[in-house]
Amino acid sequence: MAKTEVILIQNIVGLGGESDQVRVAAGYARNYLIPQGLAVPLTSANKKRIEALKKRRGDREAHEFSAMSELAKSVTNLIAVLAVKTGEDGKMFGSITPGMIADQLKTQFDIVLEKRKIHLESPIKTLGEHVVELRLHTQVIAPLKVRIESTTPVVLPAAPAAAPAAGKEEARTRTESRGHRRAETAKVEEAPVAEPTESEGRIEKKQRASKPDKGEKRGKKKDE
């Protein structure tokens, strides 16, 4: 396959940046790069444009670095929330992709980010919080928190029947009633015996003194 050299006028992912001289397939250069204004053929006249292209490239990269550095500071305080469908066991259907995260950043925070800058070590397949890596620039990498939530309604267990609860209440009432009766009985048994007053004591002594002793009665009968 015939090859040709071109000078890139714009940054092309996987190929190079402005002012780079690259060797590509002749058909690719002739049918795509040059017609789209992305590159020019490598000629003596075009070589004079390299310095201007290098300056423009430097300015662009400095602006990108500044913008991505500011974005990195912002995203570290954000949590992108994605809602997914799950089964009754809480397992997700499918997995989270960089494209889905990019869409949510646009919807939730109005942040436009290419999905190729969102790096996942492995597909996200579980609910909860995860941390993904944003490769915003060759010199700027930032973490982004992603929370995966389920849209599937949670089925709560059925409420317990009222009858058992009523039975427990009745049993508790009976127990409390028995306890009250025991307490009242204990109070009666423990009630102190009232001591006789001083006047009652004198009356009782007089009564005992006025009654003849049994022995004395028997003696009188014998004398008679």
Q: What is the DSSP string of 53-78?
A: HHHHHHHHHHHHHHHHHHHHHHHTT-
Q: Is there a single domain that holds both residue 96 and residue 28? A: no
In a domain, 41, yes or no: yes
Residue 43 shares a structural domain with residue 80: no
Could you give the CA distance from residue 40 to residue 28 in angstroms, rounded to a whole number?
Answer: 12
Burial level of 166, CB count in 10 A (0-12/13-18/19+)?
Answer: exposed
78 belongs to a structural domain? yes
Q: How many domains does the chain have?
A: 2
Of 113, 130, 150, the last residue of a domain is 150
DSSP states of 129-192:
EEEEEEEEETTEEEEEEEEEEE-SPP-PPPPPPHHHHHHHHHHHHHHHHHHHHHHHHHHHHTPP
**H or E stretch at 217:** helix 214-223
According to the model, what pLDDT value does residue 205 have?
57
- Final residue of a structural domain among 133, 150, 167: 150
- Decide the pairing of beta strands 79-84 and 3-8: unpaired
For residue 173, being part of any structural domain is answered with: no
What CATH number does residue 35 fall under? 3.40.5.10
86 and 36 within one domain: no
Rounded Cα gap, residues 88 and 126, in angstroms:
14
Q: Is 148 exposed, middle or buried (0-12, 13-18, 19+ CB in 10 A)?
A: buried
Indicate whether 84 belongs to any domain: yes
Residue 206 placed within a domain: no
Same domain, residue pair 135 and 79: yes
Domain end residue (candidates: 131, 150, 169):
150
Q: Give the phi and the psi of residue 44 in degrees, each rounded to 5.
A: -60, -40
- Tokens, residue 3: 């090859």
pLDDT of residue 224: 46
Report the CATH number at residue 91: 3.10.430.100
Of 70, 123, 78, the C-alpha closest to 98 is 123
Distance between CA 33 and CA 16 in Å, rounded? Answer: 12
DSSP3 helix / strand / coil % (the chain, rounded to 5): 45, 20, 30
Say whether both 101 and 139 belong to one domain.
Answer: yes
79 & 127 share domain: yes
Residue 140 lies in a domain: yes
Q: Are 83 and 144 in a shared domain?
A: yes
Domain check: are 19 and 86 in the same one?
no
92 and 130 assigned to the same domain: yes
Within a domain: residue 144? Answer: yes
pLDDT at 222 (0 to 100):
47
Q: Which residues of the chain fall short of a pLDDT of 50?
A: 188, 191, 217, 220-224
Q: Is residue 89 part of a domain?
A: yes
Question: With a threshold of 0.75, does the pTM exceed it?
Answer: no
For residue 105, the enclosing domain spans 73-150
85 and 139, same domain (yes or no)? yes
